[in-house]
Each structure stands twice: as C-alpha cells, then as structure tokens.
C-alpha cells in the first residue's frame, strides 16, 4: 500500500477541512456541548459527538439529540453552535501542521485542489480566515450545502472532482474521519487518513491506504509521485 500511495502521480488533492486543514474538532465539540447546556439544559460529553464527526453539523447535533431521546430545533441549535464556535476559535484555531505549505505547493506544481467539507459555508469561511488561507488558494470548494447526501455518501467528493475537471480515480482524498474515508473510497479515490481525530486503525479499517500524523508527513506521498511524473523521472 505504501508503494501505491508513494508512486502514484495524483492530478488532484481533495481536502476535508475540519481535522485536516485546521485543527478544529475539539472546538466544535466545545461549542456544541455549550449549546446543549444553554438551550436544553443538557450535560453532553464531547465524546458523544464522535460517531457523527464529518457528517455536517445538522447530523452532528441531531445525532446526539436522537441518542439522548430529545427533540431540538435544529436550525436554532446550529445557529447558536456556530455563534459559540466562532467565539471559541478566535486566536485559538491553528492549521494542521503542514497544511498551508502543502496547499501552496500543489498550486506551484500545477496539482489541482478542492475543498470537500460537510460543514456549512459560514464555518468554512471562518476556519480559513483564522489560519490565513483563502478560498482562492484552492481550485474549487464544495460544502455540505452543495449536496443533498453528505458523507459517508460519495457525493461531496464526486462533486469536488467534477469541479476541478478530474476523475476521482486520479485524485487523493485527505480525511480525518471514518465517514470521510468511506465517502472518498466510494467515490473511487485513494484515501489518506490524518490521525487528528480518529485512530489509525479505524481509518485504515474504513479504507485509507495509509495514515499520517499531519500534512508534513503526508506531503512526500501526496505530491512526491506527481513531482516525479512531472519531471519524467
């Protein structure tokens, strides 16, 4: 598997955002815990959100509510969670190590890139702004508002590849969540797992071809093959 990932010349990289480009998963859980306490008087543990990571905030919040047997006003709950999240991440949110450098190296090498996040547009914008990335650093961006079926369905990755004019089989999906790996694999792409949120074992079990601690570790495998192909070596 290592040889497959290291030697394959990828024409495009498709990035999830939370847990891949920005180290945000603990912050959205913090905001969601505060929201449940504030609006519903419910003490929720951050670990209760783990099964719903990567599925978009609607399912992230709704899944915990269902598990707890309560009904929530999802639109109101999402809005309040986002407001709290934007406060929480101020001056605290950072890139996953090596993320900005990898995105910009792809641009320099002519490797197409796309964002593929189940989150809403407002969360994407806030995340990028906090770490100094621009949407224009990527060739396309697909959010959870752009597709009907979110991860683990392949729709987001199929649409991301389509928007950059590539077959998903010529792309590498970079994901931190089990549902995201499942989505990328279902789309026909090879998937690299980043172990910021889930264990290497769970990501490999979902279909990742290899896992990495961060994007510094990933970089030689993500663009090394493309570099050799471009140089004819």
CA 175 to chain centre: 5
Angle between helical axes of 25-40 and 57-68 (0-180°, round to 10): 50
Q: Does residue 3 carry a catalytic annotation? A: no
Contact 54, 16 (CB under 8 A): yes
| Residues in the chain, overall count | 233
Closest Cα to residue 185, out of 163, 169, 167?
169
Contact 122, 17 (CB under 8 A): no
Element containing residue 141 per DSSP (H, E): strand 140-142
Pairing of strands 112-116, 140-142: parallel
Indicate which residue of 2, 16, 45, 139 is catalytic. 16
Q: Does residue 120 carry a catalytic annotation? A: no
For 83, the token pair is 């407001």
Indicate which residue of 18, 23, 139, 176 is catalytic. 18
Show which residues are catalytic. Answer: 16, 18
């Amino acid at each position: 598997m290592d040889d497959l990932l290291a030697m394959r010349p990828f024409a495009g990289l498709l990035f999830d955002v939370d847990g891949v480009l920005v180290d945000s998963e603990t912050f959205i859980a913090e905001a969601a815990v505060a929201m449940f306490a504030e609006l519903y008087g419910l003490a929720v543990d951050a670990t209760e959100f783990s099964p719903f990571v990567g599925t978009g905030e609607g399912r992230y919040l709704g899944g915990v509510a269902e598990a707890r047997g309560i009904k929530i006003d999802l639109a109101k709950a999402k809005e309040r969670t986002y407001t709290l999240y934007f406060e929480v991440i101020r001056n605290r949110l950072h890139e996953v190590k090596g993320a900005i450098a990898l995105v910009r190296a792809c641009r320099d090498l002519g490797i197409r890139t796309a964002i593929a996040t189940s989150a809403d547009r407002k969360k994407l914008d806030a995340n990028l702004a906090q770490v100094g990335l621009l949407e224009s650093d990527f060739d396309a961006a697909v959010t959870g508002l752009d597709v009907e079926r979110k991860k683990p369905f392949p729709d987001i990755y199929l649409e991301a590849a389509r928007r950059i004019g590539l077959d998903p089989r010529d792309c590498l999906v970079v994901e931190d969540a089990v549902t995201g790996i499942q989505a990328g694999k279902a789309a026909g792409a090879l998937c690299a797992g980043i172990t910021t949120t889930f264990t290497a074992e769970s990501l490999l079990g979902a279909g990742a071809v290899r896992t990495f601690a961060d994007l510094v570790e990933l970089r030689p495998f993500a663009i090394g093959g493309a570099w050799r192909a471009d140089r004819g070596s």
